[in-house]
Amino acid sequence: MIYEKGIDLSIFEPYKINCESCTGLCCVALFFSKSDGFPKDKKAGIACKNLQPDYKCKLYSQLSKHGLKGCMAYDCFGAGQYITRYIKGFPNWRTISQKEAEQIFNSFLVVMRVHQTLWYLSQCLILQLPQPEKEKAKLLIDEGNMLIDISLERLAVLDTQPFCEKSNNYLKHICTIFKSYFSNSSKVSCNNYIGKNMKQKNLTGKDFSMSLLIAANLEQANLYGANFLGSDTRDTNICNTDLSQCLFLTQIQINSANGNNKTVLPPYLQKPKTWDVT
Ligand code: SF4
> What does the pLDDT profile of the chain (278 residues) look like in tens digits?
899 988 899 999 999 999 999 999 999 999 999 999 999 999 998 899 999 988 999 999 899 899 999 999 999 999 999 999 888 767 777 778 888 889 999 999 999 999 999 999 999 999 999 999 999 999 999 999 999 999 999 999 999 999 999 999 999 999 999 988 887 656 555 689 999 999 999 999 999 999 999 999 999 999 999 999 999 999 999 999 999 999 999 999 999 999 999 999 999 999 998 886 54
Q: Which atom of ligand 1 is nearest to the CA of 39?
A: 1
Could you give the angle at the alpha carbon of 113 between the alpha carbons of 166 and 24, nearest 5°? 165
Q: How far is CA 11 from the centre of its chain?
A: 15
Q: Whose CA is nearest to atom 3 of ligand 1?
A: 71
Total-model pTM: 0.92
For a mutational test of ligand 1's pocket, the pick from 25, 42, 57, 273, i.e. the residue with the most ligand atoms closer than 8 A to its C-beta, is: 57
Cα 29 to ligand 1 centroid, rounded to whole Å = 12
Q: Residues with Cβ < 8 Å from 61, sequence gap 6 or more?
A: none
